[in-house]
C-alpha cells in the first residue's frame, strides 16, 4: 500500500474543505481553507514522489505560494477589516452539514464506482488515481453546494477558491506533464481571480454596507 | 519570417500601450488618451495586415509561443480591433463628460484606458493562441480586465453587477478548465512527446477518444464557454453587467466579451459536432431556449440597456446554434451573425450612450420620447441597428439569419428554423417599438422635454456612423466580408476534416 499517503492527504483535502464550508466563523474558515490547501500541496507532492514527474514539484511550490499563502492572506485581510461572522445561510448548521455529508458521500461513491465511463485514460481508473480523481470531483461538488446555499458574498468566494482547487487537483492527476509556463498561467489566473473577487467584495461591503447576497438584489427584474 | 511575428505584435502593441498609460498616463493626457487611441489604431492596422495575409496566402503557422492565425482568428481579430478603435474613440469625449459631471475623476481615467488596452491584448491573445489551456487563461484574463470597468463608477449597482459577473464567469470557466483537462489527458496518449494540446490537433484526436469522455468534455465546454457567451441558463451575470457599466463598456461587453465565449465554442464544440449528432441537437435546444427566453425578457424591460442586454442573450442563441451545426452553412452563418451582432449591438449600445449623454443620464423608455427631431443622427443610427438586429433586408442581420435558417433546413431541424424565424419577428417588433417610443413618441416626463437636449458632438457620433455604414454596406454588398468568412469557416472545417482521414 505504497500509495496510502496520497489517499490520506486527499481525504484531508476533502474534510478540511467541508470544514471551511460549514464553519460560520470566517477567521476559522480561512484557517480551514489554509489547511485544506496545505493538504492539497501534500497530495501533489505525494504524486510527485510516486510518479517521478519532476514538474509536479513546481506545482507543489505554486500551490504553497498561491493557495497556502496568498489567498488565505487576502481572505484574512478581508475578514479582519470587514466582518468575521458569516451572514446566516439559508440552511441551519446541522441540517446543512447532514445534507452536505449525504451529498458528498453519495457523489463520491457514484464517481468512484462509475469512473471508468468518464476516465480519459486507462491509468486514471487505477488506484490511487481513481480515488484521488473522485476526491477532486467531490471537492468540485462541495464548492457548487456552497455557491448554491450560501448568502454571504465572501463565503461564495471561498466556494470559488475550493472549485478552483478541485480543478487544480484533477489537473495534477490527469495531466502531470504540463509545462511550467502553462502552470504559471493557470496559477496566476486563479490567484488574480480570487484576489479580484475579494477586492470587489470588500468594496461592496464598504459602499453598500452588506454582503448578504439575498439583499443585493437591486438589479433583479 | 517577419510575418510570423505579426500575432505577437498584435498582442504586444496593446500591452505596451497599457504600460505607457499606467506609468505615464497620470501626468500627461497624451500618454493616456493618446496612447489608447494610438495603440488601438496600430492594432487595427496590424489586424488588417494579418487578415490580408491570411486571405491571400493561408494560415500563419509556426509563430512563437504557440500562436497561430487562421481564417477564424483573422476574422475575430479584425473585428475586435476595429470595434475597439471605435469604442476608444467614443470614450474620449464620453468619459471626459463623466469627469465634468463629477461621476469620476481624471486620475481614474488612467485605470479606464489602461484596462481597456489590457483587455484588447488578452482578447487578441485568446483569438491567436493555439493552445487549449492558454485559451482558458486568456478567457479568464478578459473577465478580470473588464471586472473593474463594469464597476468603474463605484456605485451600488455597478459593484453588485461586477461581483456577480466575476463570480459567475469564473465559476463557469472552471468547468471549461475541467473539460480542457479531460481532453488534454485523453489526448496525451495519442500524441506522445507533445507538451501541449493544440486546437488544430483536436480534429485528429476526437475520433480516438472514448465517446463518454468526449460528451462529458463537450458538456463542460458548453457550460464554461456558454457562461462567458451569456447563453441561457448561465446568463445571470449578463443583463446586470451590461446595464450598469458605462456605455462604452456595455458596448464592449456585448460586442466583444461574449463573442470570445462564442469563439471558444467554435474552436471546441463545433469540432465535436460532426462526430456526435446529439451535440448538434443539444446545442440547438439550448440555443433556441436562449433565443426565446432572451426575447421574452427583453419585451418586459423598461430600461434601454437591460433591453439590449436581453437581446444579446437572444441573439447569441443564433450564433451558437449555427456554430453547433458544424456544417459549412451553419458555421458560416454563425460566424456571419457573430460579425453582424458585434456591429449592430455595439452601435445600439453606443446610441443609448449618446441618448444618456444628451439627456443627462435618462435611459428608461417610459421617461424618453420625441428625441428624433433633436437628435437625428443618433435616431438614424439606433434605427439602423434596430432593424439590422430584427433581420430586415437589406441590412446585414438579414443575410446571416437567412444563412442560419438554410443551415437548419439542410439538417432538417425545422423546429429550430421555425423558432429562429418567430424570434426574429419578435425582435424586429420589439426594437421598432422601442425606437418609435424613444425617438418619435411623445415625451411624458419633464427631463425629456428639456429644450436643451440636442445632438451629441461629432466625436461621439462618428464611431456610431461608421458602424451604421458598415451594417448597411455588408447588407447591400455581403461579398465585402465573404472572403474572410469563407476562410474562417474553412479553417474550422479543416480541423474537423483532419480527423476524418483514417
Convert the pLDDT of each residue in B265-307 to its tens digit.
Answer: 999 998 888 888 888 999 999 999 999 999 999 999 889 999 9
Helix (H, G, I), strand (E, B), or coil: what is residue A73? helix
Q: Are residues B283 and B376 in the same domain?
A: yes
pTM for the complete prediction? 0.93
Contact A120 B183 (CB under 8 A): yes
pLDDT in tens, B465-497: 999 999 999 999 999 999 999 999 998 888 888
Contact B196 A208 (CB under 8 A): no
Rounded CA gap, A21 and A142, in Å? 8
Would an 8 Å CB–CB cutoff place A203 in contact with chain B?
Answer: yes
The answer, yes or no, to whether residue B37 has pLDDT greater than 80, is: yes
pLDDT in tens, B308-343: 999 999 999 999 999 999 899 999 999 999 999 999
pLDDT-derived band at A221 (thresholds 50, 70, 90) equals very low
Instruction: Please report residues of A whose CB lies closer than 8 A to that of B174.
Output: 140, 160, 163-164, 166-167
Contact A178 B133 (CB under 8 A): yes
Which of A200, A203, A204, A215 best tests the B interface by mutation, with the highest count of B CBs <10 A? A200
pLDDT-derived band at B344 (thresholds 50, 70, 90) equals very high
Can you tell me the mean pLDDT for A125-152? Answer: 87
Q: Are residues B267 and B137 in the same domain?
A: yes
Which domain-ending residue is among B86, B102, B130?
Answer: B130
Chain A CA closest to residue B216: A118
Nearest one of B255, B234, B379 to B308, comparing CA atoms: B255
Which structural domain, as residue segments, surrounds residue B441? Answer: 131-500
Q: Are residues B59 and B135 in the same domain?
A: no
Q: Which of A49-63, A67-81, B475-489 has the lowest mean pLDDT?
A: A49-63
The interface predicted TM-score (ipTM) is 0.92
The answer, yes or no, to whether residue B371 has pLDDT greater than 80, is: yes
Would an 8 Å CB–CB cutoff place A207 in contact with chain B?
Answer: yes
Q: Are residues B151 and B77 in the same domain?
A: no
Q: Are residues B110 and B140 in the same domain?
A: no
Q: What is the pLDDT of residue B502?
A: 39
Q: Are residues B123 and B163 in the same domain?
A: no
Can you tell me the mean pLDDT for A32-43? Answer: 93
Q: What is the pLDDT of residue B501?
A: 47
Contact B213 A196 (CB under 8 A): no
Q: What is the pLDDT of residue A217?
A: 66
Rounded CA gap, B234 and B129, in Å? 25
Chain B CA closest to residue A192: B144
Q: What is the number of domains present in chain B? A: 2
Which of A120, A148, A173, A204 best tests the B interface by mutation, with the highest count of B CBs <10 A? A120
Taking each continuous run of H as one helix and of E as one strand, the counts in chain A are: 8, 0
Q: Are residues B191 and B119 in the same domain?
A: no
Can you tell me the mean pLDDT for B226-246? Answer: 90
> Which has the higher per-residue pLDDT, B473 or B373?
B473
Would an 8 Å CB–CB cutoff place A126 in contact with chain B?
Answer: no
Which domain-ending residue is among B86, B105, B130?
Answer: B130
The answer, yes or no, to whether residue A185 has pLDDT greater than 50, is: yes
Q: Are residues B357 and B477 in the same domain?
A: yes
Q: What is the pLDDT of residue B335?
A: 94
Contact A157 B161 (CB under 8 A): no
Chain A CA closest to residue B209: A120
Phi, psi of A25 (to 5 degrees): -80, 120
Q: Are residues B28 and B145 in the same domain?
A: no
Q: What is the pLDDT of residue B257?
A: 92
Q: What is the pLDDT of residue B307?
A: 93
Which domain-ending residue is among B71, B95, B130?
Answer: B130
Q: Are residues B429 and B406 in the same domain?
A: yes
Q: Are residues B37 and B165 in the same domain?
A: no
Tell me what percent of the residues of chain B surpass a pLDDT of 90. Answer: 58
The answer, yes or no, to whether residue B142 has pLDDT greater than 90, is: yes
Contact indicator for B162, A211 with CB cutoff of 8 Å: no
Q: Are residues B153 and B65 in the same domain?
A: no
The answer, yes or no, to whether residue B12 has pLDDT greater than 60, is: yes
Q: Tell me how crowded residue A116 is: count the other CB atoms within 10 A of its CB.
A: 12
Amino acid at each position: 500500500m505504497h500509495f496510502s499517503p496520497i489517499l490520506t492527504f486527499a481525504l484531508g483535502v476533502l474534510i478540511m474543505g467541508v470544514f471551511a464550508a460549514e464553519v460560520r466563523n470566517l477567521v476559522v474558515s480561512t484557517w480551514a481553507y489554509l489547511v485544506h490547501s496545505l493538504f492539497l500541496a501534500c497530495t501533489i507532492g505525494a504524486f510527485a514522489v510516486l510518479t517521478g514527474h519532476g514538474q509536479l514539484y513546481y506545482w507543489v511550490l505554486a500551490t504553497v505560494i498561491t493557495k497556502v499563502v496568498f489567498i488565505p492572506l487576502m481572505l484574512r485581510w478581508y475578514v479582519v477589516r470587514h466582518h468575521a461572522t458569516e451572514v446566516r445561510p439559508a440552511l441551519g448548521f446541522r441540517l446543512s452539514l447532514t445534507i452536505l455529508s449525504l451529498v458528498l458521500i453519495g457523489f463520491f461513491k457514484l464517481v468512484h464506482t462509475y469512473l471508468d465511463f468518464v476516465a480519459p485514460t486507462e491509468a486514471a481508473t487505477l488506484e490511487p488515481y481513481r480515488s484521488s480523481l473522485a476526491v477532486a470531483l467531490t471537492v468540485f461538488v462541495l464548492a457548487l453546494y456552497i455557491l448554491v446555499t450560501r448568502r454571504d458574498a465572501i463565503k461564495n468566494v471561498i466556494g470559488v477558491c475550493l472549485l478552483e482547487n478541485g480543478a487544480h487537483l484533477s489537473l495534477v492527476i490527469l495531466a502531470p506533464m504540463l509545462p511550467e509556463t502553462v502552470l504559471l498561467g493557470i496559477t496566476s489566473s486563479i490567484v488574480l481571480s480570487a484576489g479580484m473577487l475579494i477586492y470587489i467584495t470588500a468594496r461592496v461591503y464598504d459602499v453598500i454596507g452588506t454582503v448578504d447576497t439575498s439583499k443585493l438584489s437591486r438589479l433583479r427584474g | 519570417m517577419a510575418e510570423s511575428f505579426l500575432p505577437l505584435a498584435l498582442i504586444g502593441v496593446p500591452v505596451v500601450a497599457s504600460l505607457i498609460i499606467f506609468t505615464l498616463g497620470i501626468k500627461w493626457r497624451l500618454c493616456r488618451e493618446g496612447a489608447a487611441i494610438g495603440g488601438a489604431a496600430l492594432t487595427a492596422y496590424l489586424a488588417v495586415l494579418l487578415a490580408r495575409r491570411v486571405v491571400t496566402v493561408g494560415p500563419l503557422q509556426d509563430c512563437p509561443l504557440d500562436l497561430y492565425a487562421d481564417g477564424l482568428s483573422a476574422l475575430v481579430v479584425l473585428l475586435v480591433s476595429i470595434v475597439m478603435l471605435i469604442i476608444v474613440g467614443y470614450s474620449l469625449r464620453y468619459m471626459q463628460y463623466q469627469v465634468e459631471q463629477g461621476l469620476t475623476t481624471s486620475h481614474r481615467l488612467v485605470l479606464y484606458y489602461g484596462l481597456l488596452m489590457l483587455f484588447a491584448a488578452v482578447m487578441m491573445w485568446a483569438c491567436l493562441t493555439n493552445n487549449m489551456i492558454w485559451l482558458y487563461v486568456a478567457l479568464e484574463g478578459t473577465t478580470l480586465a473588464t471586472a473593474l470597468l463594469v464597476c468603474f463608477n463605484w456605485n451600488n449597482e455597478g459593484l453588485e453587477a461586477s461581483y456577480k459577473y466575476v463570480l459567475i464567469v469564473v465559476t463557469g470557466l472552471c468547468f471549461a478548465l475541467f473539460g480542457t483537462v479531460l481532453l488534454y489527458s485523453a489526448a496525451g496518449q495519442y500524441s506522445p512527446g507533445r507538451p501541449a494540446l493544440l486546437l488544430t490537433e483536436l480534429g485528429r484526436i476526437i475520433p480516438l477518444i472514448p465517446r463518454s469522455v468526449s460528451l462529458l468534455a463537450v458538456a463542460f465546454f458548453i457550460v464554461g464557454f456558454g457562461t462567458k457567451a451569456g447563453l441561457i441558463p448561465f446568463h445571470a451575470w449578463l443583463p446586470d453587467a451590461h446595464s450598469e457599466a458605462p456605455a462604452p463598456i456595455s458596448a464592449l461587453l456585448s460586442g466583444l466579451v461574449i463573442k470570445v465565449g462564442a469563439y471558444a465554442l467554435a474552436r471546441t464544440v463545433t469540432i465535436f459536432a460532426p462526430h456526435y449528432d446529439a451535440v448538434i441537437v443539444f446545442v440547438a435546444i439550448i440555443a433556441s431556449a436562449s433565443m426565446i427566453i432572451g426575447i421574452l425578457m427583453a419585451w418586459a424591460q423598461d430600461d434601454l440597456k437591460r433591453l439590449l442586454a436581453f437581446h444579446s442573450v437572444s441573439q447569441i442563441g443564433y450564433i451558437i446554434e449555427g456554430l453547433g451545426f458544424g456544417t459549412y452553412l451553419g458555421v458560416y452563418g454563425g460566424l456571419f451573425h457573430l460579425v453582424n451582432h458585434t456591429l449592430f449591438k455595439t452601435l445600439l449600445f453606443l446610441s443609448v450612450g449618446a441618448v444618456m449623454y444628451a439627456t443627462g443620464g435618462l435611459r428608461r423608455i417610459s421617461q424618453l420620447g420625441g428625441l428624433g427631431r433633436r437628435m437625428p443622427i443618433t435616431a438614424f443610427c439606433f434605427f439602423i441597428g434596430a432593424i439590422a438586429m430584427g433581420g430586415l433586408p437589406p441590412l446585414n442581420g438579414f443575410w446571416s439569419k437567412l444563412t442560419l435558417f438554410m443551415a437548419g433546413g439542410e439538417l432538417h431541424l425545422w423546429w429550430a428554423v421555425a423558432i429562429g424565424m418567430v424570434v426574429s419577428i419578435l425582435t424586429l417588433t420589439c426594437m421598432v417599438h422601442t425606437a418609435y417610443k424613444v425617438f418619435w413618441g411623445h415625451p411624458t416626463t419633464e427631463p425629456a422635454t428639456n429644450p436643451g437636449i440636442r445632438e451629441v458632438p461629432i466625436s461621439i457620433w462618428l464611431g456610431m456612423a461608421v458602424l451604421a455604414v458598415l451594417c448597411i454596406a455588408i447588407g447591400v454588398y455581403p461579398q465585402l466580408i465573404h472572403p474572410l468568412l469563407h476562410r474562417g469557416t474553412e479553417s474550422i472545417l479543416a480541423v474537423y476534416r483532419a480527423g476524418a482521414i483514417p
